[in-house]
Amino acid sequence: MDAMQYEAPGSVDEAVALLAAADGAAWVLAGGTDLLVQLRADLIEPGLVVDIKGISELRAITPENGGFRIGAAVTGAELGEHEGVKAVWPGVVEAMELIGSVQIQGRATLGGNLCNASPAADSVPALIAAEALCSVVGPKGRREVAVAEVATGPGETSLGPGEIVVDILLPERPARAADAYLRFIPRTEMDIAVVGVAVSLVLDERGVCAQARVALGAVAPRALLVPEAAAALIGGTVDDDALERLAAAARAACRPIDDMRGTVAYRTKVAGVLARRAAGIALARARSE
C-alpha cells in the first residue's frame, strides 16, 4: 500500500508544479472539511495532497475596483467578519456562513466549496447570482472563469490537470443593490442543502427592479442560473404577483433527483417557496440601501 504524500507549498507556482507532476491522483486541500471526510469514507485515495493554506495570497481579501478579490483559502469565519464584503454582498456571505457549524466555519473555504463541486454547495448559487469570476492558475498560466463554469456535475469540474482556483472576484455594486441566499435543511445547522436559492437584484430610483439574477442549488447536477426566474422580477416593483411568477419559474427550472435528502416533488415545491422568500429579503435589503 502506497503512503499518501502531503505537501504544503508556500506559493501558487510551487503548488501548481506539485499538482502537475502528480499525474492524476492529487488533491488540493484547503479547509479539508470535504476532503478529509471523503478520505475517511474511502471515497478517494489521493497519492498526493497539496495543502494551499500556507500560500499567503490565497488567504487574503482585497478590495478591487469597488468589489472584492477573495483568496480561495479564505475561511467562512474570516469572510463573515469582513464588514466590507458583508455590506456589499450580504447574500454571498450568509451562504458561506451557513456551511457546517462554528467549528467548520473556522476551516471551510470559499474556494473549497466551489471546487468540491457538490450540487448542494451553499456558496455557489450565491456566487453565480453575484456573477462572480474566479482566477484559475495552472501549468499554462492564469485564466479568468465565471464561477458558474467551474462545476460541471457532481464532484466534477472544468479545471485541467494542475489547475487551482486561487481567488474569486465579487464585482462592484451600484446603489440599491442587494443579494440574499436561503437554503432548506431539516435541521438548523450541520446539514446539506435540500434546496438553495440565491437572488441578486438592483433597483432603480423608482424602486423598479432593473437587474436580477436567480440561481438554484441542489435541484440539478450543478447549481443553475435561472434567467426566466430573474425575468419575472425585472421591470416591475417585485410585487406579490412577480414573486409568484418567480416561484413558478424557479420550480419550472428544477431538475432534481429523488434521494434520501428530498424527493423531486419536495425539492421543486420548496425551490419556489425559497425563491420567493429570498427575493423578499434581497428586496428589503436593496430598499434599505
Partner 1 sequence: MATEVKELKWIGKRPIRPDGVDKVTGRAKFGADLTLPGMLVGKVLRSPHAHARIKSIDTTKARALAGVKAVVTSADLPELASEWVPAGELQINFRDLSSNILARQKVFYDGHAVAAVAATSAALAKQALALIEVDYEVLPHVIDVVAAMQPEAPLLHDDLFTEGVTPTPETPSNIAKRVEFARGDLEAGFAQADAVVERDYTTKPVHQGYIEPHAVVASTSEDGQSEVWCSTQGQFSVRFYIAKLLSMEISQIRVTPSEIGGGFGGKTTVYLEPLAVLLSRQTGRPVKMVMTRAEVFRATGPTSGAALSVKIGATKDGTVTAAEATLRYQAGAFPGSPVQPGAMCAFAPYAFETFKVVGYDVVVNRPKVAAYRAPGSPIAAFGVESALDELAKRLEIDPLALREKNAAREGTHAAYGPRYGPIGFVETLQAVREHPHYQAPLGPNQGRGIASGFWFNIGGESCAMLNVAEDGTVVVVSGNPDIGGSRASLAMMAAEVLGIDFERVRIIVGDTSTIGYTFLTGGSRVTFATGMAVVQAAEDVVRQLRERAAKVWEISADAVIWEDGQAHPAGANAGEFEPLSLRDIAAEAGKTGGPICGNASLNAQGAGPGFGTHICDVEVDKETGRVTILRYTAVQDAGRAVHPSYVEGQLQGGAAQGIGWALNEEYVYDEDGRLQNPGFLDYRVPVASDLPMIEAVIVEVPNPNHPYGVRGVGEVPIVPPMAAVANAIENAIGVRMCDLPMSPPRLLAAIDNGG
Applying CB under 8 A, the residues found at the interface with partner 1 are 1, 40-41, 101, 184, 186-192, 194, 260-263, 265-266, 269-270, 273
Beta carbon of residue 261, minimum distance to partner 1 (angstroms, whole number)? 7
Residue among 187 and 206 whose Cβ is closer to partner 1? 187
Beta carbon of residue 199, minimum distance to partner 1 (angstroms, whole number)? 17
Beta bridge partners of 200: 179, 213
Beta carbon of residue 285, minimum distance to partner 1 (angstroms, whole number)? 21
Q: Which residue has cell 469572510?
A: 79
Residue among 252 and 273 whose Cβ is closer to partner 1? 273
Beta carbon of residue 3, minimum distance to partner 1 (angstroms, whole number)? 9
Beta carbon of residue 124, minimum distance to partner 1 (angstroms, whole number)? 19
Cell of 19: 499538482
Residue among 27 and 184 whose Cβ is closer to partner 1? 184
Residue among 48 and 159 whose Cβ is closer to partner 1? 48
Residue among 162 and 272 whose Cβ is closer to partner 1? 272
DSSP characters over 209-249: EEEEEEEEESSSSS-EE-HHHHHHHTTS---HHHHHHHHHH
Residue among 41 and 83 whose Cβ is closer to partner 1? 41
DSSP characters over 31-98: S-TTHHHHHHTTS---SEEEE-TT-GGGG-EEEETTEEEEETT-BHHHHHT-HHHHHH-HHHHHHHHT
Output phi, psi for 42, to 5 deg: 60, 25
The DSSP call for residue 156 is E
Residue among 240 and 260 whose Cβ is closer to partner 1? 260
What lies within 8 Å, CB to CB, of 214 at 6+ separation is 129, 197, 198, 199, 200, 225, 226, 229, 230, 233, 246, 249, 250, 275, 279
Output phi, psi for 66, to 5 deg: 85, -10
Beta carbon of residue 260, minimum distance to partner 1 (angstroms, whole number)? 4
Beta carbon of residue 215, minimum distance to partner 1 (angstroms, whole number)? 19
Distance CA 60, CA 154 (A): 28
Q: Which amino acid belongs to residue 193?
A: A
Question: Three-state DSSP class for 272?
Answer: helix
Distance CA 126, CA 217 (A): 9
- Strand-pair category, 67-71 with 164-170: antiparallel
Beta carbon of residue 183, minimum distance to partner 1 (angstroms, whole number)? 11
Residue among 234 and 266 whose Cβ is closer to partner 1? 266
